[in-house]
Structure 1
Amino acid sequence: MINIPHLLENIFVAVLYFLFGGFGLKCQYCGFDTGLPFRCPFCGGIFYVEHRLPETHMCPSFRKDLRVFRGLGETTGPSLTRRVTPWLFSGFGRRIFNVARSPVIFHVCLAAVIVALVGLSTAVATLGFLNPFLISLLVLIFVISFTLHEIGHKFTAKHYGLWAEFRLSFLGVLVTLISIFTPLIKVVSPGSVVIYGWADRRIMGRISLSGPLINIVLSLIFLTLTLFNFGGILLGIAYIWGFAINAYIALFNLIPLSILDGAKIFQWNRHVWAIMFTIALIFIAAYVLLY
């Protein structure tokens, strides 16, 4: 169940941030004036970006609430919770409202609906309502591209023995919903994959890389289908969109900001980041110039 009072508190914090740049909000750990407040989902406190993670502000509730899943079993206890660090991936991934106890399927389904609305708004703005079948294809491409991106993070994390699941983000949902009504900039990031466990810079980089890499591969697949003109004119338009959408998602997530995949990839291996970013940028440039 969503904690309504906690959600309303976070809406108030977000409004302060958007209207006043966070004026008057101080980190409850260090007292620093923060223009980008983060609310801890465990204790409910407001913290500066450097103290946003539970272990960096000595969160009193974190060790009580943390659960680490190993395979089909579940293990809890002080010996494990001291060693666990949360990491968030893909866009505006910081959770600042308390939906942590909601079933994963709730987060996934709601995220899919929000992403579908972004796809619908983009398709209608471009094509109008001329062809419902084509619009449905474009919406489906949006949802599949986003879902496979997040699945890439999840399964790569599990490959390294980490526990991972998708969680909605209040800011992510808010910005994605706003982008439904913006004509040019579209944000497809209503949530993120939350990961618990030991992870060094190399593992973090590879987990972060998996999402954009999947989008690059999907973009190549759609480009190949476009070049071979497989399926006729309508499918050809859908392939072109699939090529562009996946290139855009990859490029956006490869921006080297701390809340995006690109920052973790850049910290791990700058050459890998440069190659991926260049490929995504070339794909976007090709779409703009050719279509």
Structure 2
Amino acid sequence: MGGAALAGESLDAPSDKVHPTGGLPPTLATALRDGPFHQALHQAITHRGLPLARLRTALDDAGTHIGQSTLSYWQRGLRRPEMPRATEAVLALEQVLDLPSNSLLGLIEPMGEHSGRSTNLAAEEFEADLRNACLDVLALHEVVTVNAARTRRSVLSRLVVRACTDGADRYLALHPADEQGHVEHSAVHTGEGCRAGRMRKRGPDGSVAFELLFDRRLSPGETLVFSYTVIDTATGQTGGHLRRFPSAAGNYLLQLRFHRGVLPARCFREQHGDDIRHEELNYGLDGVVSAYFEPVDCDRAGITVHWGPA
């Protein structure tokens, strides 16, 4: 496991990034708005009246383990959460402490602000790298999970690639900036066939890309299957998922998995090239909608979502 970044593109609507802190004590609301992180965390713990031992137990019950000593260091400012590895832990703290979404996460300095591993790239070089010219993408399968708040929560990507030159050893995946979340904090957990490499950042749109390093160098014609999961930090209602294709791919299967109690009104399969083509899709009783593309020779492909009244 490691790193942050992502693949795929969010279609979430813009937001003013204002946390709904109404109803909280003024001192806590101010700390959540202005920071720093450790003071906001300390104020939140004090407001809820939770001893650190009980807070740790509540986090364990929620499926997230944070040591009591770590919590103590965080709230005293002696240490800070290491992003993006701690993204899920901070989101769990917000949930257990009943705080607005992203109110603590937004106070943490993004990874790479002072990191020598983060590299600003010229737009032309960045676009060239995104084509992953040493690889042919034979197949891509993505599963996007949307929660009961209509928010995109995670994206699982599994790829089959074939080396077209000698020595191919990495894949560059893109995660675009998103007004609804803190793209720098999105965490990627690597699965089979790869591990997290450098974070590479470009401006001015704030997009970030992560290198996924293969377990070995590939020979020409050799195939590899690898996967990674992105934990998303967006907070707004999702408009769907469009995958960008800087170069052609063999086939692409996209599945959106909705909460069964909160289903969209309509879903559409979309391809963006010289024109936009779309067709309506149906989802099953399990709340899953699927779109298949073969071959993929367009700029973007995916599923867009239209929600009914809340």
Report the TM-score when normalising by structure 2.
0.30
Bigger fraction of residues in helix: 1
Higher relative contact order (Cα pairs below 8 Å, separated by 6+ residues): 2
Bigger fraction of residues in strand: 2
Report the TM-score when normalising by structure 1.
0.31
